[in-house]
Structure 1
């Protein structure tokens, strides 16, 4: 299987997953989080499509390991992967998204380490780097949303509880 085709399939699955979560979410904030994440998946899809169209010399790399890995990756986006009842806040939604993105980064890095073909390994590392940048973005948004829980909002009042 071509590595770049696998990456495109992976992003399509991610986009569908986050769109499904957005459509099932009952709270506007959570719905917005998952809609934004679906759009981010589309941006990654477009990036990988540009790589496929010739921006990368090794975009036609073929990997035998991907056929066996497809099922493992599909588990990340399994329909029962997120229990929406537990995702009652946008912060919880971002935390779930971070878990999903971390699993994707780990998955791509492991595939790159196991790959024997040098071109396929280089492309898997490039894909893992893109996925890591996406994870970093989600983590930054999460930290921004969570900041009021971690820091005082104003010197005269406190949003932190006594221990």
Structure 2
């Protein structure tokens, strides 16, 4: 199986997963989070499609390990009906997205390490780097959303005046 085709399939699964969560979400903030994540998956899909069209040197790399890996990857995006009951806030939605994306990054990195073909390994590393960059973006948004929880906002600091 072509590595780049697997990456495209991976992003399609991710996009479908986040759209499904967005459509099932009853809370506007959570729906917005998952809609944004689905759109970001589409951007990654477009990136990988550009790589396939020739932007990447390794775009024709083939891997035998990906056939077996497809099922393992599909489990990352397996539907979980009880999940939405747990995602009551946008922060929880971002935390869930971070867990999913961390699993995707680990998955790609492990595939790259096990791959014997050097071209396929290089492409898998390139894909893992793109996924890590996406994870970092989600993590940054999460940290921004969570900042009020971590901010030191005691009353004794709010009324500072010169004497």
Query: TM class by shorter-chain length?
Result: over 0.9
Give me the whole-angstrom Cα distance separating, in 1, the residues matched to 2:81 and 2:97.
11
- Would you say the 8 A contact 1:61–1:120 is kept in 2? yes
Aligned residues: 157
Give me the whole-angstrom Cα distance separating, in 2, the residues matched to 1:73 and 1:82.
20
Residue in 2 aligned with 1:156?
A: 158
Residue in 1 aligned with 2:2?
A: 2
Shift of 1:57: 1.4
Shift of 1:81: 7.3
Q: CA RMSD in A?
A: 1.3
Q: Do residues 132 (structure 1) and 129 (structure 2) align?
A: no
Give me the whole-angstrom Cα distance separating, in 1, the residues matched to 2:144 and 2:111.
32
Unaligned ranges ≥5, structure 2: none
Unaligned ranges ≥5, structure 1: 158-163
Shift of 1:80: 1.3
Structure 1 outlier segments of 4+, above 3 Å: none
Cα shift readout 1:35-68 (whole Å, capped 9, x = no counterpart): 0000000000000000000011110000000000
Give me the whole-angstrom Cα distance separating, in 1, the residues matched to 2:33 and 2:80.
19
**3-state SS, counterpart of residue 40 of structure 1:** helix
Give me the whole-angstrom Cα distance separating, in 1, the residues matched to 2:59 and 2:81.
31
More helix by share: 2
- TM-score, length-normalised on structure 2? 0.94
Give me the whole-angstrom Cα distance separating, in 2, the residues matched to 1:121 and 1:62.
10
Evaluate the alpha carbon distance shift between residue 48 and residue 81 of structure 1 in structure 2; reply closer, same or farther with a 3 A threshold. Answer: farther
**3-state SS, counterpart of residue 78 of structure 1:** coil
- TM-score, length-normalised on structure 1? 0.94
Give me the whole-angstrom Cα distance separating, in 1, the residues matched to 2:153 and 2:2.
50
Residue in 1 aligned with 2:51?
A: 51
Shift of 1:12: 0.3
Residue in 1 aligned with 2:39?
A: 39
